[in-house]
Amino acid sequence: MKEIREQYELQFLKLLAKGMKLRLEKKHSEANTTHDRNQSLHTPRTPKTG
Range of the domain at 3: 1-32
What dihedral do alpha carbons 30, 33, 38, 41 form, nearest 10°? -150
Does residue 46 sit within a domain? no
Q: pTM, whole model, 2 decimals?
A: 0.51
pLDDT of residue 4: 95
Does residue 45 sit within a domain? no
34 secondary structure, DSSP code: H
Does residue 28 sit within a domain? yes
pLDDT of residue 35: 54
Instruction: Give me the mean pLDDT over the 44-50 stretch.
Output: 71
Does residue 23 sit within a domain? yes
Does residue 13 sit within a domain? yes
Does residue 11 sit within a domain? yes
pLDDT of residue 1: 87
Q: How far is CA 23 from the centre of its chain?
A: 5
Separation of alpha carbons 16 and 8, rounded Å:
12
4-44: pLDDT as tens digits: 999 999 999 999 999 999 998 888 777 666 555 555 565 66
Split into its structural domains, the chain has a count of 1
30-39, Cβ contacts within 8 angstroms, sequence gap of 24 or more: none
